[in-house]
Structure 1
């Protein structure tokens, strides 16, 4: 298995989750008493990837303090963590570009600090190698934020689904990148990974999508926070693959 570092984007303010992020960075918002960032790192380490580069920004010191305290207590001793201050206002592409010096392999992994999945990472990496493209993303099925209603021609409702899983795919993160992707990025604050760099890769046919038909859930809103904690408390923890 190729040794790859895991870059996790941890610097945003999480403005849509202000009830929690006013006091802590979004990746430190807890599920089952532990930060969502810890859950993400446990996921990656379960596949043998335990070298992490955390792209810090908003309230980054809290992330450092948590993991230093965890290590002092003897927890997750096998993890090698690089804390990289990538600025308060930097966008996703700029944060990745600013940690380029820490990437020493041909391929590396990247994800967001607010998304959980039970995606088969080994299968995605194998797919990435077969495709030979500069970037692979996980295509996932999101839950609709609205109920779906069907009615017959007279207007009588025949079906109602409360926030169903949508058929279409969206970008779920959990990227596998070739290092050459750094050539598409700029260290300037406004560089957004998901706009011009991705558009450039698509134009060159250098982006692939691994279809994940399993669980995926991001923590964008306070309701997401409540839902994920309710799942954990009930024992329904599909992302807990460790």
Structure 2
């Protein structure tokens, strides 16, 4: 079996199976074909995440989220021609089909070396007081609490590094010396770390006004008290592919109303639904922003991320939601901290 044949799926294949295939292969792509290998569509991680936002269950057929009009070219041209077309179209996969639309090959752009340092900056917000985790945070800041064998912040940095992101700025305030003494310039972790210091509380976005210069490319912002297995490369690709000015990672949250919910019209009772379960997407504290977004942040004033996203939307710029399907935990309270330690060894395979 050739490499490209490993990513062929039928239209009836459940979304969750294709999702696993995309995650497990280096190609990050699947082609949907029929029994005669006729090309029906293509699937990327972004296609699946857009389906999640629409509420499509993961046990539904992949046909419900696939791209039915994928870019493709006819067979018979040279490899040089195809590679030039891929470069011009800025695509990473190119299906090649015969005159009867049978898939004969899939060309892939050269796999980038993941460990090659990428230019995108990562800003980690690590200045919070962590009052809900006292007395643990009376002597150290929350991002420095050990989960497993190391501080939360170190696990976050290592997660980004595993995808080639090695340039960090830590926004610090409370007990900042503890963070700076531990990480220093980051060289012992194989990364580069700089710091911005908040002299007063600036919120979850206000600290970005202290960045010494504009980043040269889209950059990450993440709260320093999260544990997650996000594929940061897929997140950045999604941000770029959707041509977004700002992308917010969201997660589905279920909550049950503990009463019977009634629907009425005037004085008439129309229906009763006993203790319904509602679903909403919530903010996870992970973002990708374009450099120009910094113009929306007031200098040295308290400003939260929801304020920033509202400002960007009001100015009619493109804003996207990236639904998480990976492990994510906000360590905000004692129960969360306990759960983080219970799940760390399984999730992060620390040795």
The bucket for the TM-score relative to the shorter chain is: 0.7 to 0.9
Cα distance, 1:21 vs structure 2: 1.3
Cα distance, 1:109 vs structure 2: 1.0
What is the total number of aligned residue pairs between the two structures? 219
CA distances 1:207-227 after superposition (whole Å, capped 9, x unpaired)? 101111121111000111111
Selected match of 1:24 from 140, 148, 151: 140
Whether the aligned pair in 2 keeps the contact of 1:100 and 1:182 (CA below 8 Å) is: no
Correspondence for 2:53: none
**Structure 2: gaps of 5 or more residues:** 1-111, 113-117, 261-276
Give distance in 2, aligned partners of 1:116 and 1:206.
Answer: 28
Selected match of 2:244 from 110, 118, 133: 133
Counterparts of 1:73-112 in structure 2, within 5 Å, are 75-76=188-189, 78-101=190-213, 103-112=214-223
Give distance in 2, aligned partners of 1:148 and 1:116.
Answer: 28
Indicate whether 1:40 and 2:150 are aligned.
no
Give distance in 2, aligned partners of 1:118 and 1:126.
Answer: 16
SS at match of 2:306: coil
SS at match of 2:305: coil
With over 3 angstroms needed to count, the CA separation of the structure-2 counterparts of 1:5 and 1:214, relative to structure 1, is: same
Whether the aligned pair in 2 keeps the contact of 1:94 and 1:190 (CA below 8 Å) is: yes
TM-score, length of structure 1 as denominator length? 0.81
Indicate whether 1:190 and 2:306 are aligned.
no
CA distances 1:177-235 after superposition (whole Å, capped 9, x unpaired)? 1001101101233222222x211222324210111112111100011111101122xx3
Counterparts of 1:51-200 in structure 2, within 5 Å, are 51-68=167-184, 75-76=188-189, 78-101=190-213, 103-142=214-253, 167-195=279-307, 197-200=308-311
CA distances 1:44-101 after superposition (whole Å, capped 9, x unpaired)? 0010001110001011010011113985xxx41x110002212242222220111142
Cα distance, 1:167 vs structure 2: 4.0
Larger Cα Rg: Structure 1 or Structure 2? 2
With over 3 angstroms needed to count, the CA separation of the structure-2 counterparts of 1:54 and 1:143, relative to structure 1, is: farther
Q: CA RMSD in A?
A: 2.7
SS at match of 2:227: strand
With over 3 angstroms needed to count, the CA separation of the structure-2 counterparts of 1:141 and 1:117, relative to structure 1, is: farther
Indicate whether 1:207 and 2:323 are aligned.
no
Whether the aligned pair in 2 keeps the contact of 1:58 and 1:88 (CA below 8 Å) is: no
Moved >2 Å (runs of 4+): 68-71, 141-144, 147-151, 239-242
**Structure 1: gaps of 5 or more residues:** 152-163
Cα distance, 1:121 vs structure 2: 1.4
Higher relative CO (CA 8 A, sep ≥ 6), structure 1 or 2? 1
Give distance in 1, aligned partners of 2:335 and 2:168.
Answer: 29
TM-score, length of structure 2 as denominator length? 0.57
Cα distance, 1:17 vs structure 2: 1.4
Give distance in 1, aligned partners of 2:318 and 2:349.
Answer: 32
Give distance in 2, aligned partners of 1:125 and 1:84.
Answer: 23
Give distance in 1, aligned partners of 2:185 and 2:210.
Answer: 26
